[in-house]
Amino acid sequence: MAVKLVTTVQELHSEGARLLAGKRGTSQGLVPTMGALHEGHAALARAAVEQNDVVVATIFVNPLQFGDAVDLDRYPRTLEADLALLDGEGVDLVFAPSVDEVYPGGEPLVRVTSGRLGEKWEGASRPGHFDGALTVVAKLLHYGLPAAGLAAGDGTGGGLPAYRAYFGQKDAQQLALVRRMVADLNFPVEIVGVPTVRAADGLALSSRNRFLSPEEREAALVLSRALRLLEERAHAREPLDLESAQALVESQPLVALDYFDVVDPATLEPLAENCRETPFRGEGLALIAAKVGPVRLIDNTPLSS
Ligand code: PAF
């Protein structure tokens, strides 16, 4: 395996600097993950490898973003398979720290607050989740900063390497929050959103899909079908008729709908009057969340017309 595994911040910095210098690198990509990797993560790694000289992936199951200790314990740990997938995509370095490495003093007293944007949709059913996720993303973005002082080394004028971090559009609210954190708090990194990867039947890939029974997996397809219905109506410049798409989801007995709405992609505020009776115009994001049996699933699709 060519990919190198490190577990301390010090090793990450020295290996990262060595790789950048060795490749005369002018750009570094970071792919933060919690492991249990699937094709969706492979797409993040692939995009990062295409766009950067050096790519670092992180694998860290962050206790701060789990409300429930049972969920945290149940989260799959599949390091060997994860390393093989990242290696296959051409990732150079994997940082898989312990909880003590990331939180040496225990839970941090100061955290990033996700504010109003983090309280709605997923935030409403998972209080504190986005504060925990943003706090660790802030730390990971700092850990992954290309080593200061490295010249570009290609004769184009030197300077610090470009720095990009990759997040899936599947977690649309997390992506919107990370973008806001980076903009509002001036992090020197470009955030790249990577489109959701779906199974052939439309189900959005998620590490939670492994907890679905075959019947629940079949029932879960109603989420992507309902989103596709909205996409088709937006494309045809018809009213979105969200109610009938909601009714489709609610007709599936194994699915308990939590929310389904069309929002502004940046603020996640509902675009209520732009979708009911009049043809849809502009840019929107359809967000859906439901429990399928015991498994909570989320999905979304961009809308434009
Ligand atoms: O999306 C995830 O896997 C996690 O929320 C992240 C961004 C790695 C932070 O723990």
Q: Indicate whether 202 belongs to any domain.
A: no
136 Cβ below 6 A of ligand 1: yes
Q: What is the Cα Rg of the chain in Å?
A: 20
Tens of pLDDT, residues 134-192: 999 999 999 999 964 454 444 344 577 899 999 999 999 999 999 999 999 999 999 99
- Measure 235 CA to ligand 1 centroid, in angstroms: 32
Residue nearest to atom 3 of ligand 1 (CA): 33
Whether residue 201 lies inside any domain: the answer is no
Banded model confidence at residue 305, pLDDT cuts 50, 70, 90: confident
What is the pLDDT at residue 43? Answer: 98
User: Per this entry, what is the length of the chain?
Assistant: 305
Give the tens place of pLDDT for each residue, 242-280.
999 999 999 999 999 999 999 999 999 999 766 667 888
Q: What is the pLDDT of residue 282?
A: 87
The protein residue with its alpha carbon nearest to ligand 1, atom 5, reads: 133
Residues 129 and 9 in one domain: yes
CA distance 261 to 287: 6
Query: Which tokens belong to 270?
Result: 């509902």
- 8 Å CB contact between 219 and 254: yes
- Residue 182 Cα to ligand 1 midpoint, Å, equals 15
Residue 119, pLDDT above cutoff 80 = yes
How far is the centre of ligand 1, averaged over its atoms, from the C-alpha of 65 (Å)?
9
What domain range is 237 assigned to? Answer: 207-304
Asked if residue 212 and residue 189 are part of one domain, the reply reads no
Pocket test for ligand 1, best of 122, 174, 179, 191 (most atoms within 8 A of CB): 174
pLDDT at site 149: 42
32 lines ligand 1 (CB under 6 A): yes
Q: What percent of the chain lies above the pLDDT cut of 90?
A: 86
What pLDDT score was predicted for residue 264?
95
> Which helix (DSSP H) or strand (DSSP E) does residue 13 occupy?
helix 9-22
Active site residues: 41
* Helices 79-89, 39-51: inter-axial angle, 10-degree rounding: 40
Which one of 194, 224, 250 terminates a domain?
194
For position 160, what pLDDT does the model report?
Answer: 79
Per-residue pLDDT at 274: 61
Residues 30 and 48 sit within 8 Å (Cβ to Cβ): yes
Answer yes or no: is 113 within a domain. Answer: yes
Report the mean per-residue pLDDT for the chain: 93
- My answer on whether 78 and 224 are in the same domain is no
Q: What is the mean pLDDT of residues 63-91?
A: 96
Q: Is 181 in the pocket of ligand 1 (CB under 6 A)?
A: no
Task: Please list, in sequence order, all residues whose beta carbon lies within 8 angstroms of the beta carbon of residue 145, skipping any fewer than 6 positions away.
Answer: 163, 188, 189
Predicted TM-score (pTM) above 0.75? yes
Percentage of the chain exceeding pLDDT 70: 94
Give the count of beta carbons closer than 10 Å to the beta carbon of residue 18: 14
User: Tens of pLDDT along 8-55?
Assistant: 999 999 999 999 999 887 899 999 999 999 999 999 999 999 999 999
What local confidence, expressed as pLDDT, does residue 154 receive?
A: 44
Domain count within the chain: 2
Q: Which of 99, 134, 171 to mutate to test the pocket of ligand 1 (most atoms within 8 A of CB)?
A: 171
Same domain membership, residue 17 and residue 116: yes
165 in the same domain as 41: yes
Flag whether 24 is in a domain.
Answer: yes
What CATH number should be reported for the domain holding residue 99?
Answer: 3.40.50.620
